[in-house]
Each structure stands twice: as C-alpha cells, then as structure tokens.
Structure 1
Amino acid sequence: MTGTIQAPDTARNTGAGGPDASTRKSRRSRIAPIVLAVAGIVVVALLLFMVTRAPVEDARPTSLGFSLNSFFQWLGDLGPLVQIPLVLLAFAVVVGLILLLIEFAPRPGRFYFWLRLVSCFAIPVLAFMLLRPYQNAVVYVLAIAVILGGALFYADLHARQGAGSLFQLVLFAAPAGILLLIGLIYPAIATVIQSFFDKTGDEFVGLENYVWAFTNPQGFWSVINSIIWVIVAPLVATVVGLAYAVFIDRARGERILKVLIFMPFAISFVGAGIIWKFIYDFRQGDQVGLLNAIVTAFGGEPVSWLAIQPLVNTLLLLLVFIWSQTGLAMVILSAAVKAVPPEQIEAASLDGANAWQRFRNVTVPGIRSSIVVVVTTIAIGALKVYDIVAVMTGGRSDTTVLAFEMVNQQQRFQSYGHSAALAVVLFLFVVPLIVFNVIQIRKQREIR
C-alpha cells in the first residue's frame, strides 16, 4: 500500500509542475536581474562611447531611411489644418501607446505575449532614434535598442512574480523615470563632466576648477558662507520655531500670533530681501533705514551694515533667511507638540519632573522625527539660497554663496567650468543631509 501511495507522488514530483520545474523557474528568475544588469552596463558603455567619440572627417551621417524629425516636418508641411505642434503630437502618441499597453496589461494570452515582445524592442528603437544627431550613430542606436529590449523581454518572461509583471512595472514607472532621466540624471552627469573642462568646455583641465573654488576669493567665500548658512540657519530657526510652538501653544490669541509669525514665510525671498534692505539702508543725510535711524537718533554715525567684513554682513543676510523660515518651523513643530500623548506628560509630572524636564525628556523625543524634517528642509533651503544675496548685496563684500556664485560665473563671466564645479560642490553638501534624513526615517520605521 505504501508503494502504491508514493508512486503517484513521485510521478507528480517529476512532472512539469514538480520541484524540477520550480527549481528551473527559480533559477531563471535569479538570472534575470543579472541579465538586466549586464545589459545596462553594455548600454551605458555604448551610449557614452557614441556621445564622446571624435567625429570622423568627411564622413556623411548614416540613416535608416526613416527619421522622426523628417516625419514631423512632412506632417507640418501638409497644410495649416494639420500643423499640429510637435510636442503635442509626440505627447499624444506616447500617451496613446501607454493607454493601449495598460489596457492589455497584465492579461495573459498569445496577443499579450506578442504585444510585450514587439513593444520591448520597438519602444527602445523609437526612443534612441532621438539620439541620431550624433554622426554615424545608427549602428549604436540599433545595438543599444536590441540589447535593452532583449534583456527587458527575457527578464519579464522569467520574472519571479510571473510573466508580464516586470513589463507592467516598467510601463507604469516609465513616465516618471524618463522625466527623472531628462531633468535630473542627465543634467547631473553633464555638469560633473563639464566641471573638468575649461570655461569654454573644450579643453580638459582636470581639477583646476575645484582648486579655483577653494582658493579664489569668489569661490572660497561662496563655500565658507554656504557652510555658515547651512549650520546656523537650521539651528537657530528650529530652536526659535520650537520655542514659539511651545510658548504660544496655550496662549490667548494663539491663532493670531501664529498667523503673524508664519506670515514672513509667505513672502518671497525677493520681497524679504527688499524689506530688510530698507532696514539696513545706509546713506548720508536723512536716514531711511531703521537701524541707522536708531543709531543717528542717539547721536551716532550711520553704519554701512552690509559692508562690514568679515562675516558680519553674512550674518545680517542670514538673519533675513531665519526670519522667513521660523514660521515654517513653528507650524510643523506646533502640530508635532500637540500630537504628543498628554498621558506621558502627566506621568512625568506625577514622577516629580518639572516643566523643563518634561520638555526635554518627553516632548523632544516625541517630536524628534518632525525636528529632523524641519532641520533638513531649512538646511537644504539655506544651501540653495540665491534671491536674498542677489537682491541685498549682489555678492559684494564677500557675501556670495554657492548658488549665487554659480549663476554669476555662468552669466557674468561665461565661465561654465567654474560654474559646474560650484554646482558639484553644492551637490556634495546636500548629499549628507539627504543621507541623514533617510537614516532617521528608517530608525523611525524600526521603532514603529
């Protein structure tokens, strides 16, 4: 009886749906990411080689005999009734294709199989056809499209979640991925490459632009001032905002006070700069600036506040930014303080803790995630500040910052290499803030 019972099980185990088949399927699903990774490396290598290779003299550009640009031009020349803007036409075609694929994804069947197969190859070909301005690029375009399409189809066919799952994921993520690629990743890579070339972008100069950023007065003070901004602004704005949130929490007229404190945040940096420029205004004779009006009222001489060096004028500009950001810190931290369970505060009070101990040991740990968000947001805003410096001093008297000097080097001096190097330095300053924020978020998730 035992043998007769085990025989069917053995037959089932060795059948198409047994462990051997599942093992093969699992092995293929593990190979699929490797195939995608290798294909991605090959595609990036071919793309970089195509873009950076030197043009061949007296070589005529090759073509497939079909060009998207020529097709659009032909369509526009047919007459005024069909002269559709090319951007709208391309957008309509892409949206229509995505809607068609979504309609059939992830339905099983022969039609869906062939739809995936065709689209995995056709979409990369159409996408990389836009790269044909490069001379003799058709071979690279076809190679990139075939490798990318083949790897995507193979990985989708042997996906761990089932055939069609990866295709559906790529389909829904493609619009956001394309926008990130065009608007973020490609400009970032191009900026890094440009930072190693001279001001014209023709001659490779190595690290000279970065040496300039840390030795030349304009570059040096832009780095130093940005460090001061990113350290002082988040610390002071968060502390003051938290103090406002705690003391105004149960005060009479809480709403009116919060509106008044939050109002500077609603003012643009340009408007805030103009307001505070009047406060710091310096002139001979009748004083318009509030500070110098007070100084002269007590018999003193007017002071050129924004020309006091070193660092005093930078701190005065920094005060404008803190004034505008304190309202944001107060609103976020006030909501976080109200969310602290009152039972914990009452328990600490019963244990004999005074107000400061309750605030330090109960309130602050309860709003730690909100404090991290506020500090990170204000720090990134401090690194990106441009308007305040441009409106109030124009970078004079060593008040320049990275964002302002980056634009100044590009527009005023036409030095694209220096501007790109400053942009890379600014990016390197932002990365630790983002990493710190991610680490704190993960810790909060683990606690929950």
Structure 2
Amino acid sequence: MDQISQAVLAILLGVGGMGFYFFASNFLLDRVYAAETQAADRAKKRIRPWLFVAPALLSLTFYLVYPAVDTFRRSLFNARTEEFVGINNYVWAFTNETLREAFRNNILWLLIVPLFSVVFGLAVAVLADKVRYESLAKAFIFMPMAISFVGASVVWRFVYAFVPPGRPQIGILNAIVTSLGGAPKGWFIDVPRPWNSLFLMVVLIWIQAGFAMVLLSAALKAVPEETVEAAKIDGANDVQLFFRIVLPQIRSTVFVVYTTIVIIVLKVFDIVFVMTSGQFGTEVLANRMFREMFRFVNFGRGSTIAVILMVAVVPIMYINIRRFREEELVR
C-alpha cells in the first residue's frame, strides 16, 4: 500500500472512529439515563462534556503525561536504566564543566535572543506602518518564518563559511572582510568564547523577528485612534506618543511574544546541531541532551537534562496561562 493510500485510510479510520465513538457513547448515555427525571437530566449534563473531552485527555496522558513521568523515572537510573542511582545524575548535571558551559550559553541566549527579536519585530511593525508598501516590507521580514530551523542554519552556514587565505571565499561575511583588505576568520573558532555563540543567535533572531512583527503589528493596529489623537493634541511628540501612549496599550502582547520566544530559546537545538554540533564552546542544553541520549547512549543523563529543560519551561507557561486568564476576566 502506497503512502497516499495509507494517509487516506488513516484519515478515514480516525474521523470515522471518532464519529462512531461520539455516537455510541452518547447513545449509551441516553440509554443508561433513559428515565425522564431531573436527576437523570442533571447526570447527563454532567457526564456528556466528559465524553467529548475524554479522547483528548487520553491522548494528552499518553503523549505528554506518561513520557514526562517516565523521563523523570529514567533520570534516577544509570545509563541503561538498570541500576537506581538517585540524584547522582542531577549532581553530575550541575557539576560537569560541559554542562556548566551549556547552562551559561543558554542564559546568554535567554538574555539576548528574546530581547532583540522583540525589539526588531516591534521596530519593523512601527516603521512598516509608515511606508507605502507595508505588506511587501512585512512579507520580506516574515519570510524566514517559513524556513525550518535546519534550513535557516544551512543558509547561515554559507554566510559564515571559512576558506583559508589565498582561495576564493564562499562565505558572504568573509568575502566582505577580504574585499576590505582583512583576513578571513573562522567565526566560531577565532572569536573568544562564549561570544562566538552570538553568530548562532543571529539566526534565531532573524527567524523570530518576523513572528514578533506579525503579532505586534496586529496589536498596534488595535490601539484606539482616539488616544493617539488626544496625545497629539496635548503636544506629545512621536517618542512620547510611542512610549507613553502606544506601548502601555500593547504591553500584554509584548509580554506574550517575549515569553513565547523565551520558551523557543530554552529548547533551541537545530541551529546549534547543524552549525557547530556544540563544538567551540557553543554547547546548549538541548544539544547536550541529544548527545547524551543518542550518541553516548546514556539514557539516565539524557533524561536528566530533559527534566531540567521541562522544569525551566513550565513556570513560563504557567505565567502565560495566568496572564491570559487575567485578561479574560478584564474583558
């Protein structure tokens, strides 16, 4: 059976199976509580919503909850999950020099990438509104979002490519340097650690600036024109208008964009793996997790790093969810 037939069959079985489940479960519910009484009606109202969310809850449990629990369990065992070692893997994670370097790099990514992505995205969103070809300008900035992280990394490898002196430079950056009379550089080798990681961060900023621009542009267009006009009448200049009138009104969107990019940064893997594979002092936690798990076949240490990443992401997700709920209450 070819792939197209398999895909069609999977869709039919999936949709048909869910349709049969909903029909059968509601039919059984109506048969069980067939009596025309208030108690039966209340019971059906309580149970029916759970029948609809049950498949989603089971899927979440199977694909999210169980793997998270099992990953934590494996983090307490040795490389082959044969011997219980307690917190030894966590002690290793916080004392190993390579892991400490990865923690330091992740913190550097967290400090730089979300900030510059939001700043660039906001700047483009504001300035693009003032040009004639707004849609075209935004399309060019958003275009990197259509590229996978791996694809973007390949593109930027050509930008940073190094060829020894005396030969034609295929890397754009080194071609510019040599055309100005300089010597070509290995941007990940010659630049001191940890600042060589900045050349990797540029790739993610290049991608995420478009994402920030789209959401912030929508937020800017939702700012009531009356507040802007009132500020202009009161004599506010463009800088005061932006920082005192516009920015406070889109603050919640800025926060959501920022925290979303923070989560992406915490999980960054593709860019580092493709461009340096964590060499030259560019290691990050997700790449180290991959190396421990699949290259060194140490499931205990790989699971430990996965748990650390999960613990780092959960509070940010909680803050985002709580903020959404607060905004819903205000509305």
Q: Same fold (TM over 0.5)?
A: yes
Aligned residue in 2 for 1:223? 103
Aligned residue in 1 for 2:247? 364
Match of 1:242 among 94, 108, 122: 122
In structure 1, distance between residues paired with 2:80 and 2:208? 38
Aligned residue in 1 for 2:62? 182
Quick check: 1:265–1:328 contact (8 Å CA) kept in 2? yes
Aligned residue in 1 for 2:177? 295
Aligned residue in 2 for 1:276? 156
1:351 offset after TM fit, Å? 1.6
Name the amino acid aligned to 1:292: N
Name the amino acid aligned to 1:301: A
Aligned residue in 1 for 2:198? 315
Higher relative contact order (CA 8 A, sep 6+): 2
Quick check: 1:197–1:204 contact (8 Å CA) kept in 2? yes
Say whether 1:337 aligns with 2:261.
Answer: no
* Number of residue pairs aligned between Structure 1 and Structure 2: 320
1:216 offset after TM fit, Å? 1.8
Q: 1:112 to 1:421 in 2, by over 3 A?
A: farther
Name the amino acid aligned to 2:96: N
Say whether 1:426 aligns with 2:309.
Answer: yes
1:227 offset after TM fit, Å? 2.1
With the length of structure 1 as denominator, give the TM-score of the two structures: 0.66
1:195 offset after TM fit, Å? 0.7
Q: 1:342 to 1:112 in 2, by over 3 A?
A: same
1:231 offset after TM fit, Å? 2.6
Say whether 1:261 aligns with 2:112.
Answer: no
Quick check: 1:195–1:209 contact (8 Å CA) kept in 2? yes
In structure 2, distance between residues paired with 1:162 and 1:91? 30
Q: 1:301 to 1:173 in 2, by over 3 A?
A: same
In structure 2, distance between residues paired with 1:328 and 1:112? 54
Quick check: 1:231–1:379 contact (8 Å CA) kept in 2? no
Higher alpha-carbon deviation: 419-428 or 365-374:
365-374
Q: How high is the sequence identity, in percent, across the aligned residues?
A: 43
Quick check: 1:344–1:362 contact (8 Å CA) kept in 2? yes
In structure 1, distance between residues paired with 2:13 and 2:236? 68
In structure 2, distance between residues paired with 1:112 and 1:96? 25
With the length of structure 2 as denominator, give the TM-score of the two structures: 0.88
| Structure 1 residue ranges without an equivalent (≥5) | 1-84, 114-157
In structure 2, distance between residues paired with 1:211 and 1:108? 55
Quick check: 1:372–1:440 contact (8 Å CA) kept in 2? no
Map of 1:44-443 to 2, 5 A cutoff? Answer: 96-106=20-30, 109-110=33-34, 162-284=42-164, 285-307=167-189, 308-443=191-326
Output one character per residue of 1:263-295: Cα deviation in whole Å (capped at 9) or x when no partner. 111111111111111111112132111221222
1:102 offset after TM fit, Å? 1.6
In structure 1, distance between residues paired with 2:15 and 2:36? 24
| Structure 2 residue ranges without an equivalent (≥5) | 1-8
1:303 offset after TM fit, Å? 1.1
Q: 1:317 to 1:90 in 2, by over 3 A?
A: closer
Quick check: 2:161–2:186 contact (8 Å CA) kept in 1? yes
Name the amino acid aligned to 1:441: F
Quick check: 1:159–1:166 contact (8 Å CA) kept in 2? no
1:110 offset after TM fit, Å? 4.5
1:188 offset after TM fit, Å? 0.3
Structure showing greater radius of gyration is 1
Aligned residue in 1 for 2:5? none
Q: 1:106 to 1:366 in 2, by over 3 A?
A: farther
